[in-house]
Amino acid sequence: MTLVQSDADNEVRDPAPWWQSAVVYQVYPRSFADSDGDGIGDVRGVIQQLDHLVYLGIDVIWLSPIYQSPNDDNGYDISDYENIDPTFGTLADVDELIAAAHARGVRIVMDLVVNHTSDEHPWFIESSSSSTNPKRDWYWWRPARDGHSIGDYGAEPTNWESFFSGSTWQFDDRTGEYYLHLFSKKQPDLNWENPEVRHAIHGMMNRWLDRGIDGFRMDVINLISKDPSLPDGAVGPQARWGNGFPHYSAGPRIHEFLHEMHQAVFAGRDSVLMTVGEMPGVTVDEGRMFTAPGRQELDMVFQFEHVGLDHGDAGKWIVHPVPLPKLKASFARWQTGLAGHGWNSLYWNNHDQPRVVSRFGNDGAYWRESATALATVLHMQQGTPFIYQGEEIGMTNVRFTSIDDYRDVETLNYFREAVRDRGLDAALVLSSLRETSRDNARTPMQWSGRDGAGFSDGEPWIPTNRNHRVINVEDQRGVDGSVLEHYRKLIAMRHTLPVIRTGEFLLLEPKHMSLFVFERVSSHGRLLVAANLSNLVETLDLTSETWAPFRDADILLDNQQNFVFRQLLPWQAVVLARDMHSSRH
């Protein structure tokens, strides 16, 4: 092991944009706080709980969609971009939330879902009404494949498989053609080749910014440019469907579309805004291009590499343990790949992912320790961290035993397809859902141990995790060593230690199966982050010659408060510092 002595200064811009030292908190409004007792969280609920977010210390709230929607995919199917779904409240409530957040120094970023609309959006209703309608070309309409009649096996225009099971094409008998939907059949894909579509979206975005929001999280934004010739995808052995991904992800015009959006919407006000593009399948090289400041596209992207490592050949539904060296190598590639060129987002969780403490930690014997250790290794990296509601108290996966408890369209489609169409054993499929379903992230926020978990006085739209009796905000607030207090410390460290923003990332012990150790080095100081991500004690002898620079370092953080410089207890995580220059920046 060699410790780098030189000042490897990684600063990408001067002055650094505000979001490089910010921490974002994702609110999934449906499950956050219900102010009116209908069992569904709402905007007023978010307003009521702002104090929790201020206590936590976050800088930005990302709100998952609250727009008008038939809620086939919990609001990711929008039927009116400029109005709020009545279940969540009114535009006046949103104005109040923006004002209340701003008054507390918290910014608001809204979800932007423009790869597709709902099939109940007026644009699609018009588009589907006749093949000569002026909005026909706003979506992707195609006839049956040459020589096939509707309903034939393989008649769909391409062999692509939807993210949510089955074909990406839905036949519509009003005009006798199919429309493209990469997600559910109630989420038709917009045709971004059409300039009118882009213009309408830019106008809508500008109106939201004029209303006072501070940026956008852009849903599957790498899918908006498709190869217009719509080629078939390669078909794997024994597979029913082809892989269309290479033909619709990061397509030929993606950079042009994002730059055009930047010019039409962000130019002139980009220094106060924050943009993050959700990009399943994005590579480091692409990520660098999307986020390089000079290209004027996006501030950062959500990449998916680390949350795909436990997926098997059959996709997300069968998971495998991830050897730690693989996980570390993935993080390190993104850290070094974007450093000095673009900017990383950092996340373990969101509304689509199983809970991190259940997935990569030990949510039994080492629940508190593993939740805080995983948080530490993420938050000490370079980038903008995103915390998903409930993560800050160590919420776990939910152990539903019946398919009736699930609500998610992806989960329900998969269950139907696996059990009914493929004849898999229902109990087996249910046991896989307990690890993989998106509903693991969507159970109500656990505010207290009382009935209703402090989320709602009514019947919640999805069952509450019974462990709210022991895992909840109320029991952790102000309790030294709790998951909540640990997250508060991590957030405060990012605000006060510039090395977390600027430092070069150096992965140490890359092959170690249990220890995740890295350094952060810049002119602002030097950090050593060391975590034992296993259930056994591990030796880490910082008194030895190899580790000399850290022998007498300051302990900035220790999730078990007993570090002795020789070993790490199961799931112990520490942050040590040397030569620090700290400031609020």
Binding site residues, ligand ISL, CB under 6 A:
73, 76, 113, 163, 183, 219-220, 278, 280, 316, 351-352, 410, 438
Closest CA to 25 of 490, 387, 494, 488: 387
Residue 369 C-beta: closest distance to ligand ISL, Å: 28
The nearer residue to ligand ISL, 233 or 570, going by C-beta atoms, is 233
In the complex, minimum distance from the CB of residue 217 to ligand ISL, in angstroms, rounded to a whole number: 9
> From the candidates 111, 156, 189, 278, which is the catalytic residue?
278
- Between CA 497 and CA 584 the distance in angstroms is 7
Q: Which of 189, 219, 286, 352 is catalytic?
A: 219
CB of 531 to ligand ISL, least distance (A): 27
Instruction: Please tell me whether residue 137 adopts helix, strand or coil conformation.
Output: helix
Task: Determine the Cα–Cα distance for residues 82 and 485; give it in Å rounded to an integer.
Answer: 38
Q: How far, CA to CA in Å, does 40 sit from each of 30, 137, 352, 529?
A: 5, 36, 18, 40
- Taking the complex as a whole, the smallest distance from the CB of residue 150 to ligand ISL amounts, in Å, to 27
- Compute the least distance from the CB of residue 18 to ligand ISL, in Å: 25
Report, in Å, the least distance between residue 277 CB and ligand ISL. 11
Q: What pairing do the DSSP bridges indicate for beta strands 242-243 and 215-218?
A: unpaired
Q: Respond yes or no: is residue 278 known to be catalytic.
A: yes
Active site residue 417: no
C-beta closer to ligand ISL: residue 28 or 516: 28
Residue 82 CA from chain centroid, whole number: 23
Q: Which is nearer to ligand ISL, 140 or 563 (CB)?
A: 140
Whole-angstrom Cα distance, residue 373 to residue 99? 35
357 to 57, 100, 116, 394, 440: CA distances (angstroms): 22, 32, 32, 7, 12
357 alpha-carbon distance from chain centroid? 16
**Backbone phi and psi for residue 111, each to the nearest 5 degrees, phi listed first:** -75, 140
The answer to whether 425 touches 415, Cβ cutoff 8 Å, is no
Residue (260 or 410) nearer to ligand ISL, CB:
410
Residue 231 to residue 75: CA distance in whole angstroms: 30
Which is nearer to ligand ISL, 302 or 550 (by Cβ)? 302
Q: Residue 280 in contact with residue 304, Cβ under 8 Å?
A: yes
| Cβ distance to ligand ISL smaller for residue 156 or 278 | 278
Least Å distance, CB 232 to ligand ISL, is: 21
557 forms beta bridges with 575
Cβ proximity to ligand ISL, 242 vs 280, nearer residue = 280
Widest pairwise Cα distance in the chain:
77
- List the catalytic residues: 219, 278
